[in-house]
Amino acid sequence: MIPLLCSTVLLLPITTLAQQASAAWRKPNVTVVRGDRISIAEAAIEEGIAFLDTSKALFPDPDNSYGLSGAFYSQLAEFDLATNQTKYAAALQQYFLLAAENLGELGGSGNYGHAAAMAFSTYKNPVFLQYAEQVWWAVNAYTLTQKNVDSGTIALKNFTLGHTCQGITIAGGTFREKLDTATAINTQATGLSALLAEATQDDLYLDAAKASADFIRAHLYNANNIVQDSISARANDSCAEAASEFSSDSGVVIEGLAILYSITHNASIHDMIGDMLTSVIPHTGWQGPDGIIANGAEKTSDLILPRALATVKARNATTPLLQSYIDAYLSVQFNAILDLATVNGSNIYAGSWIGPPSLAFSPGNQTNAIQVLIGAINIGNQPSNSSESSQAGPSASSGPSAAASPRQKSKVGPIIGGVVGGLIVLVGLIVGALLCRRRMRSRANAEESPVAGVAPPQVTQVTPTTVHPFELRANHAPPSAMPSSTLGSPIQSVAGHGNTTTTLSTAHGTRSMSAGSSTQESTALLYPSNNDEDGDADEPPPDYRASEFHK
C-alpha cells in the first residue's frame, strides 16, 4: 500500500501539469459578463437566420451547405438549453418542416438527427424525437453489424467487406458516404445513437452507441489518444487508414462518450474521456502554441470539438480539474473569435480564428463561431448535477488560467504556487480516497444525470400545425416493433388538424405554406432538379466535413 501511495504522490503533479492551461495560450480567461455573452451568441444566430432561404429553411447553395443547415438547427436548440428559454422552439418546427426531404441522405443527415435530438432534449416535444429516430434509421442502414461483417456484404455497397482489422471486428463502423463504391467507415453515428439512448432509454440505441465506441477504440485511436479520420471496410484494402488528424474527429468521439457516460456512469468511459481530453486539448496537430484551433494549411476552425467539450462539462463527465481545463480552452477560442475573426458590430465571423476577420457571410464559418459562442455562455458555471465538483478540485470560474499569464515575474508566485500545489496534492489524495469509497458504494445504482448544467425549461406545446416526419430514402425500414406512425404519417402534436396554413418569417420576408403538403411536393420544392429525368436523384450531397471543415 505504501509503495502505491508513494507512486501516486509522484505521478499526481505530472498529471496536474498536463491538465493546466499552457502559459503560451492566448487569453484563457473570459472577462465578458454572462449576459453579454448571451447577447453576442444570439446576435450571431440571428445573422445566420437572416441568410436562410425562406422557401427551404436552408442556407444558400444547399449542395455545399447541406449539413451546415442541420448543424445550425442544433445550435438554436442548444442556445435555448444553455439560456433556459424557448425562443427558437416554434421556428425550429417550421424549419424542419420546410427542410423535410433532406433527411434521408448521409453526411449532413446526421446533423439533422443531432438537431432533432437536441430539440427534444430542450423542448420535450415528441415530434422532434420522432424526427431524430427516423434519421437514425436512415444512417443505421450504413452502419456495419456483426452479421454484415460475417457475411462480407451490406446491401447498399457493391464490394466485399473485410472481417477484421488487426484481428478485431469492424462491426460498429458507419460508412461516411452513400456512394455504393465508397469504402471509408468512421465515427459519425456515435453521437446520435448516444443522444437517442439518453432520450429514450432504449437498449437499441445504447447498444449501437456502445458498438460505435468499441469500433473507435479498436480502430481509430492512435498511440496518442487522437482519433484518426477513417479506415477502409473493403476486404482487399488491408484496413487502409486515412491518417489525417482533424479536431472534429476527436470531437465526435468525445461528445458521444460524454453522453454515454451520462447514461451508464461507467468508470472506464469516464477514464477514456479524461485520457482523450488530456491528449486532444493540447494537441499541436490542429493548433499552435496560442491554443487557437486552426486545422490544416488554411488554419480553419471547427464546431464539433468545442461542442464536445461543452457536452462533457454539461454532463459532468470528467473531473473538476479537467472541467476547468475545458473552460480555459473554450475561453481561448471565444476571445480569439471576438478579437481576431470579426469586425465589431458585424456579427459575421471568419473561417480562421487567428484572423483576418471577414465581412463575407459563410455558413460554415458562422456555425463554427456560433458553437463556441454558445459553449462560452456557461463558462465558469459548475454543472448543476455535479456531486464531485462540490467536493474536490478548483472551481471552474478560477480555472487553470492563473498559470497562464506570462506577465507574473515575481519570485513569490512560484514559492506560493509550490506550497499550494503540495497542499492540493495531499488534499487530493485524501479526498480521492474518500471519493473512491463513495463511488464503489454508489456507482451500481447511480441515477441518470440531467442533460445539461442548467435546469431544463418548462415548455408547453408550441406546435401550431400538423408536422410531417421525414421519410427515409435508404433501402432500410425499422422493425415492426417501431410504431408505424413515426414513418410517413402525420404526427399530431397539438389540437391542430387538416391543411393548416402557417407562415415562416425571416429577415428576408414571409412565406405561407400548407402543413398538409405531400412528400412529393416537398421534394419538388427543395430540389427542383429532382424533377429532371436526366438527373441523378440518388446522388448524395457532398460530405459537409470535407467541404466546410476539412479544407
State the SS3 of 427-470.
HHHHHHHHHHHHHHHHHHHCCCCCCCCCCCCCCCCCCCCCECCC
Residue 428 is predicted with a pLDDT of: 52
Q: Which of 218, 324, 315, 305 is nearest to 266 (CA)?
A: 315
Q: Is the pLDDT of residue 370 over 90?
A: yes
pLDDT at 19 exceeding the cut of 70: yes
Mean pLDDT of 129-134: 92
Angle between helices 304-314 and 267-280 (to 10 degrees): 140
Q: Does residue 506 carry a pLDDT above 70?
A: no
The answer to whether residues 330 and 310 touch, using CB atoms and an 8 Å cutoff, is: yes
**Res. 62: pLDDT tops 80:** no
* Predicted pLDDT of residue 128: 96
d(CA 354, CA 331): 14
* DSSP per-residue string spanning 68-81: HHHHHHHHHHHHHH
Would you tell me the crossing angle of helices 62-83 and 109-123 to the nearest 10 degrees?
A: 20
Beta-bridge mates of residue 166: none
CA quadruple 504, 508, 349, 38: dihedral positive or negative?
Answer: negative
Band of pLDDT at residue 266, cut at 50, 70 and 90: very high
What is the residue type of 321?
Answer: L
Higher pLDDT, 60 or 375: 375
Q: Which three cell numbers, joined as nine digits, stand for 250?
A: 476527436
Q: Is the pLDDT of residue 290 over 80?
A: yes
Mean pLDDT calculated for residue range 160-179: 93
In the DSSP assignment, the letter for residue 295 is B
pLDDT (tens digit, 9 = 90+) per residue, 392-449? 333 333 333 333 333 333 444 444 444 445 445 444 544 454 444 444 444 444 333 3
Q: pLDDT value at position 108? A: 60
CA dist., res. 357 & res. 344, Å (int): 10
Q: What is the torsional sign of CA 99, 105, 107, 109?
A: positive
Does residue 48 register a pLDDT over 50?
yes
Count CA atoms closer than 13 A to 379's CA, side-chain side: 35
- What confidence score (pLDDT) does residue 156 get? 94
Q: Can you give the pLDDT at residue 73?
A: 97
Return the closest-CA partner of residue 170 out of 233, 227, 226.
Answer: 233
Tell me, rounded to whole angstroms, the distance of Cα 319 from its chain centroid: 20
Average pLDDT score over residue span 285-313? 95
Per-residue pLDDT, averaged over 478-504, amounts to 34
pLDDT at 229 over 50: yes
**pLDDT (tens digit, 9 = 90+) per residue, 71-108?**
999 999 999 999 999 999 999 999 998 887 655 454 56
Single pTM value for the model: 0.71
- Of the listed ranges 133-137, 173-177, 248-252, 478-482, the least confidently predicted one is 478-482
Q: Give the per-residue pLDDT at 17.
A: 53
Lowest-confidence segment of 17-21, 115-119, 219-223 by average pLDDT: 17-21
What is the predicted pLDDT for the residue at 97?
Answer: 87
Lowest mean pLDDT among 189-193, 269-273, 409-413: 409-413
Q: What separation in angstroms does the CA of 21 have from each of 309, 328, 329, 515?
A: 15, 6, 7, 51
C-alpha distances (whole Å) from 486 to each of 128, 133, 408, 471 are 11, 8, 61, 9
Round to whole Å and give the CA distance between 338 and 236.
Answer: 49
- The architecture (CATH level 2) of 2-549 comes to Alpha/alpha barrel (1.50)
CA-based nearest residue to 315, from 193, 194, 445: 194
Please report the pLDDT score of residue 446 as a whole number: 39
Q: Are 414 and 344 in contact (CB under 8 A)?
A: no
pLDDT surpassing 60 at residue 61: yes
Do residues 177 and 540 touch, judged by C-beta distance below 8 A?
A: yes
Instruction: Find out whether 45 and 370 touch, Cβ atoms under 8 Å.
Output: yes
Strand partners, 514: 501
Query: Is residue 510 within 8 Å of residue 54, measured between CB atoms?
Result: yes
How much is the average pLDDT of 238-246? 84
Is 32 or 9 the better-scoring residue by pLDDT?
Answer: 32
Look at residue 4 and give its three-state secondary structure.
helix
Does pLDDT of 489 surpass 70?
no
**pLDDT of amino acid 244:** 78
What pLDDT, on the 0 to 100 scale, is given for residue 122?
98
Per-residue model confidence (pLDDT) at position 474: 38
Q: Which of 205, 215, 302 is nearest to 253 (CA)?
A: 215
Return the minimum-mean-pLDDT range out of 109-118, 265-274, 329-338, 479-488: 479-488
**296-313 mean pLDDT:** 95
Cell numbers at residue 55, please? 422557401
Q: Cα separation of 161 and 170, whole Å?
A: 9
**Residues 278, 20: Cα–Cα separation, whole Å:** 9
**pLDDT recorded at residue 99:** 84
pLDDT (average), residues 142-153 = 95
Name the percent of the chain lying above pLDDT 90.
Answer: 53
Tell me, what's the pLDDT at 89? 98
Q: Are 363 and 548 a contacting pair, CB within 8 Å? A: yes
Q: Residue 275 corresponds to which cell in the numbers above?
A: 485520457
Non-local CB neighbours of 347 within 8 Å, separated by 6+ positions: 43, 44, 46, 47
Of 194, 190, 181, which is closest to residue 220 (Cα–Cα)?
Answer: 190
Segment 189-210 shows an average pLDDT of: 93
Ordered by start, the domain boundaries in the chain are 2-549
Please enumerate in sequence order all residues whose Cβ is within 8 A of that of 275, keeping only pairs 6 or more positions apart, or say none.
225
> What DSSP letter does each residue of 189-213 carry, written as one string?
THHHHHHHHHHH--HHHHHHHHHHH
CA distance 72 to 48: 8
